[in-house]
């Protein structure tokens, strides 16, 4: 901690991995710089090889405010970006933010208070999906409904308390250094995997609905499908790498994919009664979309079943087709390099 830091307001490093974020980067950084927090703050942006105006916008942000810095991330991979930004940062509290995430005004102050009150190594809150058009509104509704994501508190909300994982996270630096930072072999699911290691070492992960980050959903079906396929693929890698880390919620999508595929094949080849399974699934997501879409325009409500099916089927397919070679590569890799203050 810096000598001039108030113990009530420890200095904070905000780390941000970015790649092709010209649409949201400026707003995300401005929301950080406008935080209602009395402690010292820095923002470290890890720049991947973007093909849009992200680097130009980041350079302007650096010129506009001395608290903003950048570091290169030539791989473009999120965990490598996070480790690079952690290494380049200086302060005892590390706040992870994405280039398309918008912090609520009291986010950092609330997180620092919760770290002190709970003794947790990492605190986090709600991934509050918000859309800007009919499709994004539909995805946001799907991502914040239990039929879309199960009982994950960081999507749907809930009571404050210990958690398996949280969205993004506000860490004590010593917890990151103890674990050697993020495992760079985990292209996806690196948050869940890091939080698992922290918990295995006896650390506390704390969820609070008072922490809220606005999130912009993927802009089309193809991008959403890729996102959720990657989620499922890498969640299976975590399950192989860390025994005992799987639960029934994660098995629901691959089970649904298998049941629906079997129902269609048997229904077409043997008996139409088997089509009850895919038909039942379709009826379930249509029914589930009604409360999820309450208050939304008709164009958004009509797209919610498409968003739900895309999320479920893509996650399940990714989980089922996740190659064992990925887990072998992770297991064979060395322990992540210790991340220390630069």
pLDDT (tens digit per residue) in 168-205: 999 999 999 999 999 998 888 899 899 999 999 999 99
Write the CA distances from 168 to 23, 97, 232, 244, integer angstroms. Answer: 20, 6, 18, 23
Closest Cα to residue 333, out of 323, 342, 325, 322? 325
Which of the four pLDDT bands, split at 50, 70 and 90, describes residue 3? very low
In whole angstroms, give the CA distance from residue 23 to residue 26.
8
- Share above pLDDT 70 across residues of the chain, in percent, rounded to a whole number: 90
pLDDT (tens digit per residue) in 209-232: 999 888 888 889 999 999 999 999
Predicted pLDDT of residue 2: 44
The residue with greater pLDDT, 243 or 142, is 142
Q: Is the pLDDT of residue 334 over 70?
A: no
Predicted pLDDT of residue 251: 84
Do 120 and 110 contact (CB within 8 A), yes or no? no
Mean pLDDT score of the chain? 89
Closest Cα to residue 129, out of 106, 163, 152? 152
Q: Is the pLDDT of residue 164 over 60?
A: yes
Residue 124, sorted as left (phi over 0), alpha (psi -120 to 50) or beta, turns out to be: beta
Please state whether the predicted TM-score (pTM) of the whole model is above 0.85. no
Q: Is the pLDDT of residue 73 over 90?
A: yes
């Amino acid at each position: 901690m810096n000598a001039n830091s108030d113990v009530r307001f420890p200095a904070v490093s905000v780390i941000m991995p970015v790649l092709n974020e010209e649409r949201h980067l400026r707003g995300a950084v401005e929301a950080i710089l406008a935080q209602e927090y009395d402690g010292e703050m820095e923002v470290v942006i890890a720049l991947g090889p973007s093909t849009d105006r992200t680097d130009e916008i980041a350079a302007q942000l650096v010129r506009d405010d001395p608290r903003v810095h950048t570091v290169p991330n030539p791989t473009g991979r999120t965990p490598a970006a996070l480790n690079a930004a952690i290494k380049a940062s200086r302060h005892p509290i590390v706040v992870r933010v994405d280039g398309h995430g918008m912090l609520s005004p009291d986010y950092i102050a609330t997180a620092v208070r919760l770290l002190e009150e709970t003794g947790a190594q990492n605190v986090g809150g709600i991934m509050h999906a918000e859309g800007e058009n009919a499709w994004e509104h539909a995805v946001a509704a799907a991502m914040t409904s239990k039929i879309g994501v199960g009982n994950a508190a960081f999507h749907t909300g809930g009571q404050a308390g210990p958690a398996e994982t949280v969205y993004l996270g506000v860490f004590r630096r010593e917890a990151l250094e103890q674990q050697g930072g993020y495992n760079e072999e985990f292209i996806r699911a690196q948050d869940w995997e890091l939080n698992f290691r922290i918990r295995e070492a006896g650390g506390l992960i704390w969820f609070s609905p008072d922490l809220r980050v606005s999130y912009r959903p993927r802009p089309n079906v193809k991008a959403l499908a890729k996102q959720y396929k990657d989620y499922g693929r890498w969640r299976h890698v975590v399950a192989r790498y860390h025994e005992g880390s799987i639960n029934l919620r994660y098995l629901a999508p691959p089970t649904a994919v298998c049941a629906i595929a079997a129902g269609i094949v048997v229904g077409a080849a043997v008996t139409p009664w088997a089509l009850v399974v895919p038909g039942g699934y379709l009826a379930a997501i249509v029914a589930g979309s009604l409360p999820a879409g309450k208050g939304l325009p008709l164009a958004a409500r009509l797209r919610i079943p498409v968003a739900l099916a895309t999320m479920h089927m893509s996650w399940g397919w990714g989980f089922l087709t996740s190659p064992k070679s990925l887990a072998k590569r992770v297991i064979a890799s060395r322990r992540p390099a210790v991340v220390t203050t630069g």
